Structure 1
Amino acid sequence: MSTAPAEVVCIGETMILVTPTDGPLSAASEASLGLAGAESNVAAGLAAAGHRAVWASRVGDDPLGTRIVDELERRGVGLWVERDPQAPTGVMFKDPAAEGSSVRYYRRGSAASGMAAGMLSTERLSGVRIVHTTGITPALSVSCRDMVDRLYADARAAGALVSFDVNDRRALWSLEDAASALARLADAADIAFVGRDEAERIWGTATATAIRAFLPNCPLLVVKDGDIGATAFAGDAEPVFVPAPVVEVVEPVGAGDAFASGFLAATLEDLPLAERLSAGHAAAARVLTIAADMPPLS
């Protein structure tokens, strides 16, 4: 990594992903190990696009934490990571099935759930242009929720924009808690990403226009609508819509994170909104066509 200050800092939990390769979890005898973390996916995408991206988090002082750190280092991601000698690195199992894959989390009490307010101070964030996190992080623990609230204030005091991807995870908290917290954080962000389907699920807003009316204060709101396209609302200007390219989908997981990385990379380059949306679609397409959350290293 360059010694120049980070352009983007992405903060959140990354887990080890265990995926059976010869059947469902209940019967498989072989599996592959990978990484599962929305914020580290975004950091890796930004690094692949040539930007100085940092992943900030906590991992256990264990081999799984080392595996995560080593993999992100190989991808050119800067690391602001604390090692916890008491709490473990989280693990996620994917359970493949013909009707659709499901996941099982083993992250309660993980090292990352111990992130707390002040983890990234204004001084630490000096020179950073964007701080990015997702709705997964405040769902991990009360201290993580406090950390995200403080992060908004410290990032802005450092002169950085706050980027927030709603990224609702139903298994992590109640619908009532999620709906209120995610709305508050998305509306308070400088840049917010939300899927039209997840917004309808948690807020009952069925269209991009309805989502904008529900989140009126976010200066730049991006509503993603799967294979239809994405719409950007910037202040009171007319919304900008760019259709999604047609691709043969192998695995949808990680596409939303890739979209955010492409959009944020184009934002750092001060491109027009339509080009930022196109960059997001292009990054998402690269992940949709492979069975992994991140593109393979060349």
Structure 2
Amino acid sequence: MAGDDGAAPAAASRPTGGRPVAGGAESRTAASWPPADGSVVCVGETMAALAPEPPASLDTGESLRLSVAGAESNVAMYLADLGVSAVWLSALGDDPFGRRVRTAVAAANVDVSGVRSDPHRPTGLLVKDPGPTGTRVHYYRRGSAASALGPELLDDPRLGSAALVHLTGVTPALSASCRALVERALATPRADRAHAISFDVNHRPALWPDGTAATVLRDLADRADIVFVGLDEAQHLWGADLDAGGVRELLPRPRLLVVKDGGREATAFGDGPEVTVPAPHTEVVEPVGAGDAFAAGFLAGLLRGGALTSALRLGHITAGSALRVTGDHGPLPDAATVERLLGLTEGAWAARA
């Protein structure tokens, strides 16, 4: 959390005795803060994705490019790119799309050993439809393998050594069992959790019955340790006149709240003064996936023990990699370039906006 200089505080001393988990592993009885050693476990659905290539409307495009798309696996892949040990937990259909998804996520150096193959349910599918006012997304995921996930997934032994578990608001919208999974993950009081929990609101209106998302997502987000929300989605959910400070008033309990204002800036709220970092100018090819990339960059910066300013900058840098490609996962700048950007003076960074 931010102090007066925007730096994250030293991790608090916590008991490290353990409760046993499957496989004989030991788990911490309480998480350190900020999260330090250990992997990040990302939980949620990933689908096969089709998009016109080159970018064009589905009405006029001549060919479709096959890739993979899932908020949580996007975060896991970018974390792995940034040198953070990342695990993805989910379920896939025992079908060609499922095998394609598993291979793609594993190729990014993400641990997929806990992903279940379901012989009875298919892998979900989405189709992107780029247009002059933005990209529409058509989902074909009802009854998918991941929609059958439930609270028992949290008994997976890979969570025993996790520093952080990452969830999004997509998962509770998929089914009653998926919502129960997220509810269970957030039910343990913060002081008693064996790992920190980050939650990206990630509101997908098409997945929610009318009138239900605002209350559910606010309740879930306010129980997490770290929350990400776009200002536009917060305004859509909770009030058109909200600014970043107003979002913090609505979500006062998370240790860290990050409000992303599109391509303009991102603001982090912790214990100390809020910290705002402008977004560098980026030529946008396709915006889907940039929020996931930002979350991964911010979490990687936090896990490095850096100041909130540095974590926000790394979020922006990582988001830029997604904005420049038609898929959800684009290449990062080389490590030397990333470190140079993180080391810029405030004025030099602002000049890039």
What TM-score bracket applies, with the shorter chain setting the length? over 0.9
Q: Secondary structure at the match of 1:167?
A: coil
Distance in 2 (CA, whole Å) between partners of 1:180 and 1:118 is 25
Unaligned runs of 5+ in 1: none
2:281 to 241, 246, 254: 246
For 1:12, the equivalent position in structure 2 comes to 44
| TM-fit CA distance, 1:250 | 1.6
| TM-fit CA distance, 1:95 | 1.9
| TM-fit CA distance, 1:124 | 4.0
The equivalences for 1:145-184 within 5 A come to 145-153=179-187, 159-184=194-219
The equivalences for 1:67-106 within 5 A come to 67-79=100-112, 80-106=114-140
RCO higher in 1 or 2 (8 Å CA, sep ≥ 6)? 2
The 8 Å contact of residues 54 and 78 in structure 1, kept in 2 or not, is answered as yes
TM-score by length of 2: 0.79
The equivalences for 1:15-54 within 5 A come to 15-21=47-53, 24-26=57-59, 28-54=61-87
Could you tell me which amino acid in structure 2 is paired with residue 281 of structure 1? H
For 1:234, the equivalent position in structure 2 comes to 270
Could you tell me which amino acid in structure 1 is paired with residue 288 of structure 2? V
Distance in 1 (CA, whole Å) between partners of 2:234 and 2:94 is 37
1:193 to 228, 238, 262: 228
Q: Structure 1 residues 179, 88: CA separation in 2 closer, same or farther (over 3 Å shift)?
A: same
The 8 Å contact of residues 50 and 126 in structure 2, kept in 1 or not, is answered as yes
Work out the number of aligned pairs and report it: 293
Distance in 2 (CA, whole Å) between partners of 1:146 and 1:203 is 23
For 1:290, the equivalent position in structure 2 comes to 325
1:207 to 235, 243, 248: 243
Distance in 2 (CA, whole Å) between partners of 1:234 and 1:245 is 23
Q: Secondary structure at the match of 1:222?
A: strand
In the TM superposition, what whole-angstrom CA distance separates every residue of 1:161-219 from its partner, at most 9, and x where no partner exists? Answer: 00000000010013421101110111110000000010000100520010000111111
The 8 Å contact of residues 122 and 154 in structure 1, kept in 2 or not, is answered as no
Distance in 1 (CA, whole Å) between partners of 2:210 and 2:223 is 20
Could you tell me which amino acid in structure 1 is paired with residue 99 of structure 2? T
Which protein has the larger Cα radius of gyration, Structure 1 or Structure 2? 2
For 2:349, the equivalent position in structure 1 comes to none
For 2:93, the equivalent position in structure 1 comes to 60
Q: Secondary structure at the match of 2:134?
A: coil
Could you tell me which amino acid in structure 1 is paired with residue 52 of structure 2? P
| TM-fit CA distance, 1:17 | 0.5
TM-align CA RMSD: 2.0
Q: Structure 1 residues 14, 124: CA separation in 2 closer, same or farther (over 3 Å shift)?
A: same
1:221 to 251, 257, 262: 257
Could you tell me which amino acid in structure 2 is paired with residue 239 of structure 1? E
The 8 Å contact of residues 126 and 158 in structure 1, kept in 2 or not, is answered as no
| TM-fit CA distance, 1:245 | 0.9
The 8 Å contact of residues 6 and 54 in structure 1, kept in 2 or not, is answered as no
| TM-fit CA distance, 1:155 | 9.9
| TM-fit CA distance, 1:289 | 2.0
Q: Structure 1 residues 158, 216: CA separation in 2 closer, same or farther (over 3 Å shift)?
A: closer
In the TM superposition, what whole-angstrom CA distance separates every residue of 1:247-270 from its partner, at most 9, and x where no partner exists? Answer: 222211111100000000111111
> Between the two proteins, what is the percent identity of the paired residues?
49
In the TM superposition, what whole-angstrom CA distance separates every residue of 1:43-80 from its partner, at most 9, and x where no partner exists? Answer: 00000001110111000011110000001111101112
Q: Secondary structure at the match of 1:263?
A: helix
Unaligned runs of 5+ in 2: 1-36, 335-353
The 8 Å contact of residues 120 and 154 in structure 1, kept in 2 or not, is answered as no
